[in-house]
Chains A and B, each alone.
Chain A
Amino acid sequence: MSNYKSKEMLSKLGPLFGLILLIIVVSILNPSFLSIANIFNVLRQVSISAIIAFGMTFVILTGGIDLSVGSTLALTGAIAASLLASGTDPFLTMGIALIIGLILGAINGVIITKGKVAPFIATLATMTIYRGLTLVYTDGRPISGLGDHYSFQLFGKGYFLGFPVPVVTMVIAFVILYFILQKTTFGRRVYAVGGNEEAAKLSGINTDKVKIAVYAITGFLAALAALILTSRLNSAQPTAGESYELDAIAAVVLGGTSLNGGKGWIFGTLIGALIIGVLNNGMNLIGVSSFWQQVVKGIVILIAVLMDRKKTV
């Protein structure tokens, strides 16, 4: 039995070995990768995509997908920025943005469960709707002049105990979400819905509620990422977050979570997001042209998925 578990563990840790290998290769090609400044830089960039990917993990574990995260990020970011610009208290602003994110996510969940629309289609539609609303709201222009609220600035640019605040935020989010997925009844139900929805329903699980919750969590986390981004840039762009959903999905898949639902874990997603972050940064350091970067990124995702397939068959 222990044999059983250790074998499973080993395959789950595959992505981690991949990340370590990648770090070794990049640092050999350009030792400056390992400087504290650069590592913080990578982590700061990763924090935003990782937080979104955490939410995506929940959704994908239930067997769904959420394409609207980038648009949710843009809309909540724009709302936060305009509130700050009009002098609203920064904490109140953050609260409002997070709640709006939660609601936008829950709307996805309701459309999917009550409207019985496939997640891909439902969130494709809301992706367009939320993006459109952002453009309407901002009139297509960036919002800046947020004032200098120290606490809000801190959120994206500050340090806590020597670590960048966004990184600390990401780690806290990770710990909480890991706990929810592995230790709570809700987490168990997320896996059950993705593993066998019919059996879950027949076991008395309110599968609709679970699904709405995971989309709401994803919306909330997209808003959290929006706040970090808005603080870092000290402005909100109506085009912010475009194609973030693809990076998030890539991180989840790289981390070994199955797109069919029911199988995977959030630690893998963290590793997946780091792989993408290190890859981006490393290729910049080594001087790979941005066109080739895309090709390489795609190939890495493909290799990871193919290796995962080999394992399970």
Chain B
Amino acid sequence: MIEMSGITKAFSGNVVLNNVQFELADGEIHALMGENGAGKSTMMKILSGIYTKDAGEIKVDGQVVNFKSPKDAEKLGIIVIHQELNMLPDLTVTQNLFLGKELTYGKTGILKTRQMEKEASQLLSKLGLNVNPKTRTGDLSVGKQQIIEIAKAIASNAKVIVMDEPTAALTDREIETLFQTIRELKAKGISFVYISHRMEEIFAICDRITILRDGQYVGVRNIPETNFDEIVAMMVGRELGERFPERKSTIGNTKLEVRNLTVNGLFHNLSFKLRKGEVLGVAGLMGAGRTEVAQTLFGYRKASSGEILIDGKKVVIKSPIDAMKYGIGFVTEDRKTQGLVLDFTIKENITLTNLDKCASSGIVNQTKENSMVAKYIEELKIRTSGPEQRVKSLSGGNQQKVVLAKWLGTEPDILILDEPTRGVDIGARKEIYQIINQLAEAGVAILMISSELPEVIGMADRVIVMQEGKLTGEVMKEQMTQEIIMQYATGGEKGVQL
């Protein structure tokens, strides 16, 4: 029903899509894959009328169309759920769901608040989301907000739903619900474009897959006729090898110890130890309180009680500045609101955490700054036209690398990573894992919060599991399986009681 051909697009001379084609059949789930910056989001922004193409043709049901704005695309039932969330945090869930399509009594403009709330809660429960539609959206976790975005698209009777990395912030259980919904909608003839870096998902739910590399069309495959390795090869154009690279670190003394840490209403009596050179995974469902623990360790949230010890000495961390003095770094989960200054350049973002290192008596030394930034752009393989590019215009995965670079620059002793590979492509993931390994090998103590169990199992030496603000289990490398971790995370069976 949708045919895009010869699509070309350049941003100020920088060609990001070159003669790309894409086809979507009725009731099909079509994956779009490619490395960070390959042009997937741009392609879909052209389909949905956000960007205009420089060349090429789009046909919907055989008719050539020329979308001037997202409204034009919406009229034909093409709805995009963007990679970066677009919820208004101060509105309630209902208000967000009905934004721009509020139910009113005739043309009076008087809102049918009750009815909207009723419909909202029906829609949410259909998606398996248990929230009060009167909740302020900003108070919900990123994962829940994502599901509300999906609900919104479903509510507006879309014929084609484009999902740009919808599951990046979701936990396995939420993903399962989402897939079920997608399958149901597919049976009703709705088509999906599905962008994701998670190979397992693509194979689980998609019918076909189109692959882009560096703004070029590489090919299209039917899912049953292809495999993991072929797709990866098409995507990166080279062999990748092991997904989780090996680490040869020696685990040293306890670097960080947490005793009975509590933030009232969020998590209670948390105790754990993190050692030098160790990667400690923190697993749990969305909303288990993992991010809040990280924020408390970093001085961004006030602890109600409990102690934090670094190198065996009790420390008081009242602010991120204190935390950084103790050598703690914190790669935050939400890059748009907490990780980056979007209007800043790559350079300005990377040096934000350690500007003093690139300055003498308060004056920024451009040469030092540039060489530091060049080093990280190179080391992390950040795909950019240059250090002066605004991070706003970077692809999602590259934005994530900028956040990482920002913290590597502080040379931390303890690094907290909150969902470090969210939205990062398969090649870049491996690069990030390698960096984590290098850090651990150099003796950095790493606390890695992750909702992707394969990642936790592949990377962590040890994992602690949280459920609803409590520590429910600890699993050593040898015993780690998805089942055991899920049991602790859902409060299923009790194992080693902590």
Q: Measuring CB to CB, which residues of chain A are less than 8 angstroms from any residue of chain B? A: 1, 3-5, 7, 183-186, 188-189, 191-192, 195-196, 198-206, 262-263
Looking at B332-340, B434-442, B447-455, the stretch in contact with chain A turns out to be: B332-340
Given contacts A185-B356, A186-B362, contact A199 B340 (CB under 8 A): yes
**Nearest-CB residue, chain B, relative to A187:** B364
A-B contact count (CB 8 A): 83
Complex Cα–Cα for A204 and B327 (A) = 12
In this assembly, does B201 line the interface, its C-beta being within 8 Å of a C-beta of chain A?
no
Find chain A residues with CB under 8 A from B298 CB. Answer: 202
Question: Which of B323, B341, B343, B359 has the most A CB atoms < 10 Å from its CB?
Answer: B341
B344→A192 contact, CB < 8 A: yes
Residues in A neighbouring B241, C-beta threshold 8 A: none
* Contact (Cβ within 8 A) B343 A262: yes
**At the interface with chain A, which of B91-99, B183-191, B385-393?**
B385-393
CA distance A183 to B344 in the complex (A): 15
Task: Give chain B residues whose Cβ lies under 8 Å from the Cβ of A200.
Answer: 341, 352
Per-residue interface assignment for chain B, residues 341 to 377, with 1 indicating a CB less than 8 Å from any chain A CB and 0 otherwise: 1111000100111011001001110000000000000
A191/B364 in contact, CB under 8 A: no
Known interface pairs A191-B344, A205-B352; A198-B12 also in contact (CB < 8 Å): no
Contact residues, B262-285 vs A (CB, 8 A)? none
Q: Given A203-B352, A204-B324, check contact A196 B342 (CB 8 Å).
A: yes
For this complex, 15 residue pairs linking A to B, each with C-beta atoms less than 8 Å apart, are A1-B389, A4-B14, A4-B388, A185-B362, A185-B363, A188-B348, A192-B348, A195-B342, A196-B341, A199-B337, A199-B352, A200-B341, A200-B352, A202-B330, A204-B323
**Chain A hits for B364, CB < 8 A:** 183-185, 188
Report yes or no: B341 in contact with A199, Cβ–Cβ below 8 A. yes
- Complex-state Cα separation, A185 to B364, whole angstroms: 6
Residues of B within 8 A of A206 (CB): 319, 321
Q: How far is the CB of A81 from chain B (nearest CB, A)?
A: 35
Q: How far is the CA of A38 from the CA of B348 in the complex (A)?
A: 43
Residues of B within 8 A of A202 (CB): 298, 300, 320, 330, 332, 338-339
**Residue from A5, A184, A204, A206 having most chain B Cβ neighbours under 10 A:** A204
Known interface pairs A185-B362, A196-B340; 9 further A-B residue pairs with C-beta atoms within 8 A, sorted by A's residue number? A184-B364, A191-B341, A192-B348, A195-B342, A196-B337, A201-B300, A201-B320, A202-B330, A206-B319
Q: Is the interface of A mostly helix, strand, loop or mixed?
A: helix
Whether A1 pairs with B320 at a CB distance below 8 angstroms is: no
Asked if A1 meets B344 with Cβ closer than 8 Å, knowing A199-B339, A202-B300, the reply is no
With A188-B355, A198-B338, A202-B320 already in contact, the answer to whether A4 and B362 are too (CB < 8 A) is no
Q: Report whether B12 and A185 are in contact in the complex, using a CB–CB cutoff of 8 Å.
A: no
B30 interface contact, C-beta 8 A: no
**Cα-based distance from A93 to B303 in the complex (angstroms):** 49
CB-based contact B12/A3 at 8 Å: yes
Q: Is the CB of A195 within 8 A of B341?
A: yes
Q: Which residue of A lies closest to B328 (CB)?
A: A204
Question: Is there a chain A Cβ closer than 8 Å to B13's Cβ?
Answer: yes
- Alpha-carbon distance between A5 and B12 when the two chains are bound, in angstroms: 10
Chain B residues with Cβ below 8 Å from A198 are: 337-338
Question: Which residues of B (222-253) have their CB < 8 Å from a CB of A?
Answer: none
Whether the Cβ atoms of B355 and A189 lie closer than 8 Å is yes
State whether A7 touches B12 (Cβ < 8 A).
Answer: yes
Q: What residue in chain A is nearest B322 (Cβ atoms)?
A: A204
CB of B402, distance to nearest CB on chain A (Å): 11
| In the complex, chain A residues whose CB is within 8 Å of the CB of B14 | 1, 3-4
A4→B300 contact, CB < 8 A: no
Question: What total of chain B residues lie within 8 Å of the partner, measured CB to CB?
Answer: 35
Residues of chain A within 8 A (CB-CB) of B386 are 1
Residues of B within 8 Å of A185, CB to CB, are 355-356, 359, 362-364
> Is the C-beta of B401 less than 8 angstroms from some C-beta in chain A?
no
CB distance from A187 to the nearest CB of B (A): 8
Chain B residues with CB under 8 A of A195: 341-344
CA distance A189 to B14 in the complex (A): 30
Please measure, in the bound complex, the distance between the C-alpha atom of A205 and the C-alpha atom of B364, giving whole angstroms: 16
- Beta-carbon contact of A4 and B344 below 8 Å: no
Assess whether A5 is in contact with B355, with CB atoms less than 8 Å apart.
Answer: no
Give CA–CA (A168, B418) in the complex, Å.
53
Residue B406 interfacial (CB < 8 Å): yes
**Chain B hits for A7, CB < 8 A:** 12
Q: Tell me which of B332, B339, B363, B406 contacts A183 (CB under 8 A).
A: B363
Q: With both chains docked as a complex, state the minimum distance between the C-beta of A309 and any C-beta of chain B, in angstroms.
A: 16
Q: Give the distance in Å from the alpha carbon of A262 to the alpha carbon of B343 in the complex.
A: 7
Cβ contact within 8 Å between A184 and B341: no
CB distance from A223 to the nearest CB of B (A): 23
Query: Do A192 and B385 have beta carbons less than 8 Å apart?
Result: no
Contact A192 to B356, CB < 8 A, known contacts A3-B13, A202-B330: no
Once bound together, how far apart are the Cα atoms of A204 and B341, in whole Å? 13
| Complex CA–CA separation, A202 to B418 (angstroms) | 13
Closest 5 A/B residue pairs (Cβ): A195-B341, A1-B386, A196-B341, A204-B324, A3-B12
User: Which chain A residues lie closer than 8 Å to B385 at the CB level?
Assistant: 1, 4
Question: What residues on A are CB-neighbors of B359 within 8 Å?
Answer: 184-185
In the bound complex, how far is the Cα of B341 from the Cα of A192, in angstroms? 7
Nearest CB in chain B: distance from A114 CB, A: 14
Chain B: CB-nearest residue to A6: B12
Q: With the chains together, A189 CA to B362 CA distance in Å?
A: 11
B339 / chain A contacts, CB cutoff of 8 Å: 199, 202
Shortest beta-carbon distance from B30 to chain A in Å = 31
* Complex Cα spacing A7 to B342, Å: 18
CB distance from A58 to the nearest CB of B (A): 15
Contact A192 B352 (CB under 8 A): yes
**B388 x A263 contact (CB < 8 A):** no
Q: How far is the CB of A141 from chain B (nearest CB, A)?
A: 44
| Measured CA separation A5–B385 after assembly (Å) | 11
A184 to B356, CA, bound (A): 10
Q: Which of B377-402 contact A (CB under 8 A)?
A: 385-386, 388-389
Chain B's closest residue to A179 (CB) is: B363
Return B311 CB to nearest CB of chain A, in Å.
20
Least Cβ–Cβ distance between B376 and chain A, in angstroms: 15
A204: nearest residue on chain B (CB-CB)?
B324
Q: Are the CB atoms of B321 and A204 closer together than 8 Å?
A: yes
A3 to B319, CA, bound (A): 41
> Once the chains are docked, how many angstroms separate the CA of A192 from the CA of B364?
15
Say whether B362 contacts A203, CB under 8 Å.
no
Q: Is the CB of A204 within 8 A of B338?
A: no
Closest-by-CB residue of A relative to B384 is A1
Are the C-beta atoms of A184 and B352 separated by less than 8 Å? no
Question: In whole angstroms, how far apart are the Cα atoms of A49 and B388 in the complex?
Answer: 33
Q: Once the chains are docked, how many angstroms separate the CA of A199 from the CA of B363?
A: 22
Report the Cα distance A207→B319, complex, angstroms: 11
Among A185, A188, A198, A199, find the residue whose CB has the most chain B CB atoms closer than 10 A: A199
